[in-house]
Amino acid sequence: MYGLAQKKQHDTDRFLDLGPIEALLNDPEVSEIMVNGHDQIFVEKRGSIILTDLHYRNNDDLMNVLYRIMQKCGRRINFSSPLEDARLPDGSRVHAVVPPITDYPVITIRKFIRQVFDTDELLEFGTISQDMVPFFDAVVKGKANIIICGAANSGKTTFLRWLTTFIPPEERIITIEDMRELNLSHPHNVAMEANERVSIHELMINSLRMRPDRIIIGEVRGKETFELLQAMGTGHEGSLTTVHANYDINEAVHRLIRAMIQAGNVTAEELEYMICETMDLFVFVKRFPNGMRKVVKVVQVEGWNNGPVSRDIFIYRNGHK
């Protein structure tokens, strides 16, 4: 818990900058900050949600902090524009909602993670099992097309970042994200970020002119999915991405179809066939109630026969993979 020990420093921070959340932004163990009005501040720490003892004086005080955050990011939020996304100078993502949509200001900050968890740490956390390590080493170096599936905050980006550690250093990687999170340590990585003027779809098309060996999209949601799978099937094998989907191969494929069909001039059945012929592996990750994140299933796609033909490589059952 955060409490009285920090409050003297917070009194100073309140006047200088961001008040109580300043210390949370500087705490390397905090991954997410959730402010529900002036008197309720939660954090995610080591996978668990914790209610802190910190608070602002009142909602006006909190709104002033929010105005400062938006000013630093070149954004505005007010009664007529009550929703806003921004990025702090350190790369942390900010989402804010204010009245009249809510009764009080709500701020959610997902901190920019600079640390890349290595294999030993993911084994210690229980995210992966020992026999997965040589498997993923082999399939990444063998240029399998891989998509990571899971709900929000299930560890998709963390696992994607870990997979990239197996990519040979001589290969050129282009990464595309709506807000930068991957922070790869690969020596030949070009990172691109979408904004109001340039969409992820446009960046995906542009990346094909940049001589990539592999293309990584942080998360696919729209017609960029179609372009990525086309690239995967025409010389850019070994590309990686994530999709928001639960723990079933058919649901994941249908989620991809709904994204790809926005490209137009192609049927759902044609897209399903394209997915099944292009993708090699679907990796499903899950966040458990205790905060632990695990790879719960790895599925190999073997083809299409009026639907996906697949087999399970790894599956998490009763505490065993």
pLDDT given at position 116: 73
With a cut of 90, say whether residue 114 has pLDDT above it. no
**Backbone dihedral angles phi then psi of residue 319, each to the nearest 5 degrees:** 85, 5
Torsion of CA 176, 280, 306, 246, to 10 degrees: -60
Check if the beta carbon of residue 314 is closer than 8 Å to that of residue 293.
no
pLDDT given at position 9: 43
Question: Residue-wise over 196-235: b if at least 16 C-beta within 10 A, else e?
Answer: eeeebbebbeebbeeebbbbbbbbbbbbbbbbbbbbbeee
| Identity of the amino acid at 258 | R
Query: Which residue did the predictor score with more confidence, 242 or 291?
Result: 242
**Backbone dihedral angles phi then psi of residue 106, each to the nearest 5 degrees:** -125, 125
Check if the beta carbon of residue 66 is closer than 8 Å to that of residue 107.
yes
When pLDDT is averaged across residues 65-69 and rounded to a whole number, the result is 91
User: Out of 11-15, 51-55, 62-66, 292-296, which region has the weakest mean confidence (pLDDT)?
Assistant: 11-15
* 8-state DSSP, 99: T
pLDDT given at position 115: 64
pTM: 0.81
Q: What angle do CA 128, 131, 135 make, to 5 degrees?
A: 95
Give me the domains of the chain, ranges plus CATH numbers: 4-110 (3.30.450.90), 119-315 (3.40.50.300)
Query: Which residue did the predictor score with more confidence, 14 or 98?
Result: 98
